[in-house]
């Protein structure tokens, strides 16, 4: 069927309107970023193309949403610090017994691969997740992995332990009790950050890429706790971030005096998780404070990249800034990173399907 001249003119006008709207959206998204920085410029260009097509294919996603309401306003009382917040605002979930046993095995210098495989075997859901991960494109083993013992042998003790720790920990983040945080988006962002962090670490040979995967997987635990603690606070954070065109973590610092990264570091430390996970969580929005450790810097870059590629939480319209010193410290080139981007989506979709089904 041939389009009439009138139909063609309407289509051209509509596309021009979408181009303008998508450019405005992306301008706001990157307003706190240095667009002269080459990797930011690449991510910005990809975001512009993605947003343009999403606005055509799914325009309802970009309509102004009804204002969130919690029924009552947040009381505005600033806690003395993250521990004060945790003490007064929320009861953290109890750690599953299998998670405690995994920690004990990982932390015991006399533990063996068979000890870890035995603990993993006690939890059928964990067994399924570990085997599916081991057989995924994330590792590309040439042989099928069909038992926990085989998985631990191929992955290695430390790597298998990290994956088991991360997989069980992610299962603590249940469906949200309110509509402020969409848990599916939270899971997908966490997995995206983990995959990107892992692939960056692998590209520059930082060692133990699975460690970086788990660091990315758990980096936003503090955000989940903040948003689950009190709906009125969550609503106020979203309102401030949107009205002031701030990143979410800037809004948190303004209202609370600390951000979700610092809160997450405290939680992970209190759970006696490995130091690398504490540093990655606590420092992913201030990597300059942990520049001697690569974990915070890698997760910082991965978090920024994940959100710019569309794996965001749907909370704040602003990305924040990509720390150029953190990028330089990692040692990855722009060309290396750009070459990894097509692989990110394939891995993220596969690992999301594996972990979200558990």
Average pLDDT, the chain: 88
**pLDDT band (50, 70, 90) for residue 174:** confident
Does residue 311 or residue 315 have the better pLDDT?
311
* Confidence tier at 142 by pLDDT (50, 70, 90): confident
pLDDT at residue 358 tops 60: no
pLDDT in tens, 155-170: 999 889 989 988 888 8
Q: pTM for the whole thing?
A: 0.89
**C-alpha 264 chain-centroid distance:** 13
Q: What is the tens place of the pLDDT at every residue in 5-18?
A: 555 555 555 688 89
Instruction: Examine the pLDDT at 48 and tell me if it is beyond 60.
Output: yes
Question: How would residue 317 be classed by pLDDT, with cut points 50, 70 and 90?
Answer: confident
* Percentage of residues of the chain with pLDDT beyond 70: 91
For residue 278, give every residue at least 6 positions away whose Cβ sits within 8 Å of its Cβ, in sequence order, or none.
265, 268, 269
| Alpha-helical runs (H) found in 90-208 | 97-107, 113-121, 124-134, 148-155, 157-170, 183-203
Per-residue pLDDT tens over the stretch 226-254: 888 888 888 899 989 988 888 899 999 99
Please tell me the distance from the alpha carbon of residue 91 to that of residue 189, in angstroms, as a whole number.
24
What is the band of 70 on the pLDDT scale with cuts at 50, 70, 90?
low
Domain residue limits, the chain:
1-64, 82-92+173-358, 94-171
- Asked whether the beta carbons of 249 and 259 are under 8 A apart, the reply is yes
What does the pLDDT read at residue 121? 94
Condensed to tens digits (0 to 9), the pLDDT of residues 81-113 reads 999 999 876 767 678 888 899 999 988 999 999
Q: Does the pLDDT at position 72 exceed 80?
A: no
Q: What is the pLDDT of residue 13?
A: 54
Q: What's the pLDDT score for residue 176?
A: 59
* pLDDT over 80 at 340, yes or no: yes
Please write the tens of the pLDDT for every residue from 271-297.
Answer: 888 899 999 999 999 999 887 889 999
Q: Is 94 helix (H, G, I), strand (E, B) or coil?
A: coil
In sequence order, the 6+-apart residues with CB closer than 8 A to the CB of 205 are none
- 82-92+173-358: CATH topology: Hypothetical protein af1432 (1.10.3210)
3-state helix, strand, coil in the chain (%, to 5): 65, 0, 35
Angstrom distance (rounded) from CA 179 to CA 228: 10
| pLDDT value at residue 3 | 55
Q: Is the pLDDT of residue 357 over 80?
A: no
The predicted pLDDT at position 167 comes to: 87
Calculate mean pLDDT across residues 133-150. Answer: 91
pLDDT at position 348 over 60: yes
Cα distance between residue 70 and residue 72, in whole Å: 5
Specify the pLDDT at position 9: 52
pLDDT, position 302: 98
pLDDT at 75: 79
What's the pLDDT at 355?
A: 84
DSSP 270: H
Q: Is residue 226 within 8 Å of 316, Cβ to Cβ?
A: no
Q: Please report which confidence band the pLDDT of residue 71 belongs to, taking 50, 70 and 90 as the band edges.
A: low
Packing angle of the helix pair 275-283, 209-218 (nearest 10 deg): 50
**Neighbouring residues of 264: CB distance < 8 A, sequence distance ≥ 6:** 218, 219, 220, 221, 222, 223, 225, 281, 282
- Over 80: is that where the pLDDT of 343 sits? yes
CB atoms within 10 A of CB 201: 26
**Cα separation, 358 vs 351, whole angstroms:** 11
Q: What pLDDT score was predicted for residue 7?
A: 54
- Tell me which residue has tokens 């924040």: 320
- Residue 144 DSSP code: -
- The Cα 339–Cα 61 span in angstroms is 29
């Amino acid at each position: 069927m041939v389009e009439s001249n009138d139909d063609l003119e309407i289509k051209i006008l509509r596309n021009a309107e979408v181009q303008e709207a998508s450019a405005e959206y992306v301008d706001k998204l990157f307003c706190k970023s240095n667009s002269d920085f080459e990797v930011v410029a690449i991510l910005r260009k990809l975001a512009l193309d993605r947003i343009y097509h999403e606005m055509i294919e799914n325009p309802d996603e970009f309509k102004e949403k009804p204002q969130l309401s919690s029924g009552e306003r947040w009381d505005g009382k600033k806690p003395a610090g993250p521990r004060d917040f945790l003490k007064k605002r929320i009861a953290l979930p109890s750690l599953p017994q299998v998670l405690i046993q995994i920690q004990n095995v990982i932390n015991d210098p006399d533990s063996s691969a068979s000890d870890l495989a035995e603990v993993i075997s006690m939890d059928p859901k964990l067994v399924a997740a570990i085997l599916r991960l081991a057989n995924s494109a994330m590792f590309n083993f040439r042989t099928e992995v069909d038992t926990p013992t085989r998985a631990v042998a191929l992955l290695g003790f430390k790597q298998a332990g990290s994956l088991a720790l991360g997989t069980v920990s992610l299962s603590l983040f249940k469906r949200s009790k309110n509509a402020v945080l969409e848990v599916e988006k939270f899971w997908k962002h966490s997995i995206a950050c983990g995959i990107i962090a892992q692939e960056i670490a692998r590209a520059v040979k930082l060692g133990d890429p699975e460690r970086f995967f788990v660091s990315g997987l758990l980096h936003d635990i503090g955000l989940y706790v903040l948003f689950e603690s009190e709906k009125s606070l969550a609503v106020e954070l979203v309102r401030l971030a949107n009205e002031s065109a701030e990143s979410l973590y800037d809004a948190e610092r303004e209202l609370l005096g600390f951000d979700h990264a610092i809160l997450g570091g405290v939680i992970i430390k209190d759970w006696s998780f490995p130091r690398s996970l504490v540093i990655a969580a606590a420092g992913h929005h201030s990597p300059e404070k942990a520049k001697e450790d690569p974990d915070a810097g890698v997760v910082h870059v991965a978090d920024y990249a994940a959100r710019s590629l569309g794996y965001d939480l749907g909370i704040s319209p602003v990305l924040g800034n990509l720390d150029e010193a953190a990028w330089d410290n990692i040692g990855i080139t722009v060309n290396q990173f750009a070459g990894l981007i097509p692989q990110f989506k394939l891995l993220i979709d596969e690992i999301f399907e594996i972990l979200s089904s558990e």
